[in-house]
Amino acid sequence: MTSVAVLDYGTSNLRSVAKALEYVAGDSHRIFISDRPEQILAADRIVFPGQGAIGQCMASLKKKGLDEVIRTAIRNKPFLGICLGLQSLMEESDEDGGTPCLGILPGRVIRFLDNIRDSRGDTCKIPHMGWNQVEQQKDHPLWQGIEDGARFYFVHSYYVQPVAGSAIAASTDYVTRFTSAAARDNLFATQFHPEKSQRAGLTLLKNFLAWDGMSP
């Protein structure tokens, strides 16, 4: 049995992520929530979920020493980031007056523009909340069994803008075309919430549990 650590920096959606992982894990994986560096580093896989403001997220990560835990773990084991778990991997976010992030992926986090109208003339509401299509930009084991253009659930006002195009694993249209998933080596991270995305989301989580951390 392998172990999967759900990283706890104080976010509110840990239980829903852990329960979704437990649902697809069966008896093959032990899922646990922890903010203890030694437990997280000993796990076989790491999941970093998050929601809320990036400033509070980064402050909590540093206070608990989890920023260095993430940098270490991300080098040698499968790692899944969700929502803020993706945004925090960038170099800097425009949120909270400008917030330095972990700097694992080159690029920044920017806010959707307000008062933008879609093709029907309707104003795009911010935050972007609800179901939207995710268009796969590169082959990856975590897309196995998931149709290109499948719909996933989003809740966010900011989005990542990677510098390196090769890190973009999927994109989505809302206000602008933005990166909705990024992948590099043994790292995969999504702007959408797989734990809230029904069949497609559960398939992605199941694929993560089977993934050896090698990109195609």
Domains of the chain: 2-210 (3.40.50.880)
The catalytic position among 57, 83, 95, 156 is 83
The catalytic position among 128, 140, 156, 193 is 193
Is residue 195 flagged as an active site residue?
A: yes
The catalytic position among 57, 101, 140, 195 is 195
| 33-37 average pLDDT score | 95
pLDDT of residue 51: 83
Is residue 193 flagged as an active site residue?
A: yes
Instruction: Encode 34-89 in three state secondary structure.
Output: ECCHHHHHHCCEEEEEECCCHHHHHHHHHHHCHHHHHHHHCCCCCEEEEEHHHHCC
161-165: long-range pairs with CB below 8 Å, 24+: 161/107, 161/108, 161/109, 161/110, 162/90, 162/105, 162/106, 162/107, 163/106, 163/107, 164/105, 164/106, 164/107
Q: What residues form DSSP beta bridges with 162?
A: 107
Mean pLDDT of the chain: 94
**11 pLDDT more than 80:** no
Residue 139 and residue 76: Cα distance in Å, rounded? 21
CA-wise closest residue to 54 among 24, 25, 92: 92
**201 pLDDT more than 90:** yes
- Name the DSSP letter for residue 198: H
Residue 47 and residue 2: Cα distance in Å, rounded? 14
Confidence band of 12 (pLDDT split at 50, 70, 90): low
Percent of the chain at pLDDT above 70?
A: 98
pLDDT of residue 216: 59
Residue 120 and residue 2: Cα distance in Å, rounded? 49
**166 pLDDT more than 90:** no
| 69-96 average pLDDT score | 95
pLDDT of residue 185: 93
| 67-91 average pLDDT score | 95
The pLDDT tens digits for 167-192 are 999 999 999 999 999 999 999 999 99
The pLDDT tens digits for 87-142 are 999 999 999 999 999 999 999 999 999 888 877 778 889 999 999 999 999 999 99
The pLDDT tens digits for 14-24 are 899 999 999 99
Residue 177 and residue 113: Cα distance in Å, rounded? 12
Q: What is the pTM of this model?
A: 0.95
